[in-house]
Structure 1
Amino acid sequence: MAVLVAYDDSDPAKKALKHALRVHSDEEITALYVITPSEYTAAHESGPFVDWDEVVERGEQEAEELFEEARQLPEASGIDLRTATVVGHPAPGIVDYAEENDVEHVVLGSHGRTGVSRILLGSVAEQVVRRAPGIVTVVR
């Protein structure tokens, strides 16, 4: 069974990954990071022009740092943790990846980052539950 874990720098996402690594250690597990350009442009860009390649590159660098931390988790020992990134909005990015890659089980945290995006990401979990193919586990 293919298991997809929506992964970012939030505590619930880390708990979701640890859960998936413990419960599905014999399965194919992929950690997915969704690069949301608006988060990077609002925090890093000023002015009317945005270098999208740079924004995506920054997101990929952040994702790789998070994936490296994930590989160091005790629960990840001996597990071939696959990783992937997509660009877009979190809920559609997760659902589309799951559909395109025949994922049978999606695991995600109940909410994501802090501040405004934390409030919005609670709705991401709800959208994924409603739209994802197969089983969805939400970890608090």
Structure 2
Amino acid sequence: MYHDVLIPTDGSDDTRRSIEHGLAIAERFDATVHALSVVPEGPLGPLESEEATPAARRAVDHVEFEARRRGVDAVTAVRQGVPHEEILAYADAEGIDAIVMGTQGRTGIDRVLVGSVTERLVRMADVPVVTVRLGDKLRIDDEDEAERIARDALEERGTPAQSVAGSIHRVSGTWRVPFETEDGPLEVRVDGVTEEAAVDSLEADAE
């Protein structure tokens, strides 16, 4: 029924549930997941900042990582423009069969913007749009606690962490904690709701 499922994401905590739902659909139908993040463009041009594009890349990378854990094929893309237009254009170009998206995004004005994007997609898309409401409340909202859980996870696998190698980020409700270890650079991803920790090697990304 579904061969290609699109999950638009901005990396906010509230995308956690829509990502899980989209991956469940893809897993059920042996479909490919497409993770798309759009850096918004306003009337005066791109709403670009030093952090906007890296944040968008982290958002789609998170979906790809979760897809790999489930054995689901994933494709990632970052676009710049008007969000609903870019999502519709991508869906058309890639032959998307369904779009799975949250009804709200970040706090404040971004919640309104994401809700507006979803509303436009529901009205304008030629394929089914599955809307997913807010996710569960985070149990871990402090990066020090996330680091502690990440270190414990490395200790359990016999790979003691030497030091945190960079900044700790939260993407789609999951903390990403990078470490330097004897085995090379590793990143532990700690689910802010379940407290589950998963280790990802960064060797492929190292320059």
Query: What is the aligned partner in structure 2 of residue 115 from structure 1?
Result: 108
Query: What is the aligned partner in structure 2 of residue 44 from structure 1?
Result: none
CA positional deviation for 1:59: 3.3
Q: Secondary structure at the match of 1:5?
A: strand
Query: What is the aligned partner in structure 2 of residue 131 from structure 1?
Result: 124
The one-character-per-residue Cα deviations of 1:79-119 (angstroms, maximum 9, x if unpaired) are 22211111112111111111122111011001112111211
**Relative contact order, higher structure (CA 8 A, sep 6+):** 1
Normalised to the residue count of structure 1, the TM-score between the two structures is 0.77
Cα distance in structure 1, aligned partners of 2:105 and 2:59 = 14
Indicate the RMSD between aligned Cα atoms, in angstroms.
Answer: 2.5
Cα distance in structure 2, aligned partners of 1:119 and 1:59 = 18
Cα distance in structure 2, aligned partners of 1:101 and 1:69 = 21
Q: Does 1:88 align with 2:81?
A: yes
CA positional deviation for 1:122: 0.9
Cα distance in structure 2, aligned partners of 1:15 and 1:9 = 11
Residue type of the alignment partner of 1:36 = P
Task: Choose which of 15, 18, 21 in structure 1 pairs with 2:20.
Answer: 18
Higher gyration radius (CA): 2
Identity %: 31
Query: What is the aligned partner in structure 1 of residue 97 from structure 2?
Result: 104
Normalised to the residue count of structure 2, the TM-score between the two structures is 0.54
Q: Does 1:33 align with 2:37?
A: yes
* Structure that is richer in helix per residue: 1
Would you say how many aligned residue pairs link Structure 1 and Structure 2? Answer: 127
